[in-house]
Amino acid sequence: MNDQPLSPAEDHLTRWLDRTPGAIPPENLSPDEASRLQADTAALTSLLRTHVPVSTEPPYPDFFNSQILKKIRDEQAMAASPARQLPLLKRRRAQSHPVPPRRLRPPRRPARRWKSVMRRSLHNRPVRTVVRAG
């Protein structure tokens, strides 16, 4: 169906054709057009009343009712507990007792491949040398 609202002229014509109390015929219709439109509307209304039943039972009333009750229960549960709508991490923050923040560790240094070592030289003097670690 069309979800757009009726223009004021269309709304006026619809009210008049539906015989809404107090509705007057639109000014842009000639008397012949007005009587023809009313006759067409009356014919269509009587045709619909003869071929379309006033009320119809749903084919599976128990299933139909159970689906409606399920939707109502789901909506009531969502309204009763707004925390259940949140994802897990936000749900934890919304709890009554605050969750302590995680301690952040400084980034790890990459493994050292070389190390500095103090050795004695041939003349027995201390010398710093770099050797492969491992």
Q: Is residue 65 part of a domain?
A: yes
In a domain, 23, yes or no: yes
> Does 43 share its domain with 14?
yes
Question: Is residue 73 located within the same domain as residue 38?
Answer: no
Residue 110 forms part of a structural domain: no
pTM over 0.95: no
Average pLDDT over the chain reads 76
Q: How confident is the model at residue 101 (pLDDT cuts 50, 70, 90)?
A: low
44 lies in a domain?
A: yes
Q: Compute the distance between CA of residue 9 and CA of residue 26 in angstroms, rounded to an integer.
A: 8
Structural domain total, the chain: 2
How sure is the predictor about 69, in pLDDT bands with cuts at 50, 70 and 90?
Answer: very high
Check whether 51 has a pLDDT greater than 80.
yes
Window from 41-50, 65-74, 110-119 with minimum mean pLDDT = 110-119
Q: Are residues 46 and 65 in the same domain?
A: no
Note whether 130 and 114 are within 8 A (CB): yes
Identify whether 94 is part of a domain: no
Sign of CA dihedral 11, 15, 16, 21: negative
Give the Cα separation of 37 and 34 in Å (integer).
5
Q: Let me know if residue 67 belongs to a domain.
A: yes
Termini Cα distance of the chain = 78
* Domain that residue 43 falls in: 8-51
